[in-house]
Amino acid sequence: MAADIEPQQHRALGFWMCLALVVGNIIGAGVFLLPAALAPFGINAVIGWLITIGGALCLAFVLAELAKGRSGGPYAYTREAFGPLAAFMVMWSYWISIWTANAAIAIAATSYLSRLFPAIGATPGSAAAVAIGLVWLFTLINMRGARAAGVTQVITTILKLVPLIAVFLLAAWLFGSGAERHVRLVPVPVTGGGIAGAAALALWSVIGFESATLPVGKVRDPERTVPRATVAGTLIAGLFSLLACAGVLLLLPGSQAAASPAPFADAVQPFLGSKAVDFIASFAVISALGALNGWVLCSGEVPLTLARAAVFPAWFGVTARSGAPVRAQTLSSMLASLLVLTNYSRSLTGLFTFMGLISAATSLLLYFACAAAALKLTLAPQSKAVGALALIGLIYCLWAFWGVGAESTLWSIALLLSGLPLFWLMSRVPAAAQSTA
């Protein structure tokens, strides 16, 4: 496994960098649009958010427990429980979801940049060029090694929390001062479908809590660092996102929030004036770029792990002198760039939403597999608490699949099955030929 053979000098990620990786990957550009997406659900949105945070925390605890005494991340957990085929298929589809998400994040960052620099949106082809340029900018940063990526992640994570904190504190101050404002949620009844739909959108905004388990070979003292960063990062990101979205819904009537293309900007505009849009757009760009940096890091680690497990071409298991899986990062970013090129004429918002839901559904496959692995591997009496959390996690995943919808779930299954030919080919390659160069 990658973690077993990584030189000590390449273990550049400590607790704070891993925490920033989790928080930064969870809080991307989507949170700035989330209030508009959740507003039509009314009180269902609040219930769905709370359920999602609870489900994510259960799964985070499960991943943290699996990380204790085991190296190799989710691939190792799933392989130990269910064998190499199941582990490969889950990680294969998850890897596809990562570089697909990278394309979506780069597109979202470009969309926000076009607000600051209108020429990007006005010039044909420039939006695609900028999005691809952003993918490769952060690929080059990650090629310098885990430390360069980690420092970038810490800086962008700190900056992206600023507007979320500001919006919530502004809402709290207004209500504390006795301002005549009150929550005006869209008046819709509480239903199972409504809660599930809202929870699916909220899930999209907490995906990434598994991030610290992926580059485990780059982490110092992974048995302590990974579990702590996973649980703490999930809690921090979930609460900050919830409080920020709640702040927007406190400042805006539900109907206005639902129709707003920039709900955070509309919420602070009465206090910042016309500069609100530029202010929010600037931090949204930072937030998206921080998430892109973290996911580019992860996009290289998954093929690296699979290559070192001899279920992916060994050529991708070679790292640079910095310890970066340059070949795997290059492949992932080439695929993300190709995806942008082939879809640049589509609506940015529509493309971002479509890719995001597929990414959410595919990530659910990973969470389901890890929860099932934990249930199988922690059957000892002293592990009853972990087993209970794993069972709750399994139930949550099944329920979330319903909320994500049939189309996205079918796409995730198709991505899962698309790896079968490669696994079959790799299984026929002699073991000697699979050794890492």
| Domain extents in the chain | 2-430
Crossing angle of helices 420-427 and 84-116, in 10° steps, is: 130
Cα-Cα-Cα-Cα torsion 278, 283, 286, 287, nearest 10 degrees, comes to -130
Q: Are the C-beta atoms of 393 and 66 separated by less than 8 Å?
A: no
Higher-pLDDT residue of 351 and 219 is 219
Task: Render 268-312 in DSSP notation, one character per residue.
Answer: HHHHHGGGHHHHHHHHHHHHHHHHHHHHHHHHHHHHHHHHHTTSS
- What digits encode the pLDDT tens for the residues 369-380? 999 988 888 655
Question: Bridge-partner residues for 13, per DSSP?
Answer: 219
Report the candidate in 208, 179, 225, 259 with the shortest Cα–Cα distance to residue 59.
208
Burial track 20-30 (b if 16+ CB lie within 10 A, e otherwise) = bbbbbbbbbbb
Tell me 70's DSSP state: -
CA 390 – CA 378 distance, rounded (Å): 9
- Rg of the chain (C-alpha set): 21
Provide the token pair at 20.
Answer: 């920033």
Candidates 1.10.357.10, 3.40.50.300, 3.30.70.890, 1.20.1740.10; correct CATH number of 2-430? 1.20.1740.10
Give the pLDDT of residue 346: 55
Lowest mean pLDDT among 191-200, 249-258, 296-305: 249-258
User: What one-letter code names the amino acid at 233?
Assistant: G
Give the pLDDT of residue 326: 92
State the DSSP H helix or E strand holding residue 325, giving kind and residue range, or none if neither: none
Give the pLDDT of residue 349: 55
First-to-last C-alpha distance (Å) of the chain: 15
- What digits encode the pLDDT tens for the residues 22-78? 888 888 766 776 777 777 777 787 788 888 888 888 888 888 888 776 667 788 889
Higher-pLDDT residue of 254 and 284 is 284
- What are the residue ranges of helices labelled H in 205-275? 222-251, 254-259, 263-272
pLDDT band at 187 (very low <50, low <70, confident <90, very high): low
- What digits encode the pLDDT tens for the residues 223-257? 788 888 888 888 888 888 888 877 777 777 766 66
Query: What is the arithmetic mean of pLDDT over 210-225?
Result: 79
Q: Are the C-beta atoms of 131 and 340 separated by less than 8 Å?
A: yes
Highest mean pLDDT of the ranges 151-160, 278-287, 324-333, 340-349:
324-333
Report the candidate in 304, 284, 331 with the shortest Cα–Cα distance to residue 146.
304
Query: What is the arithmetic mean of pLDDT over 78-95?
Result: 89
Burial class (CB in 10 A: 0-12, 13-18, 19+), 381: exposed
Report the candidate in 13, 234, 214, 226 with the shortest Cα–Cα distance to residue 97.
214
Q: Is the pLDDT of residue 416 over 90?
A: no
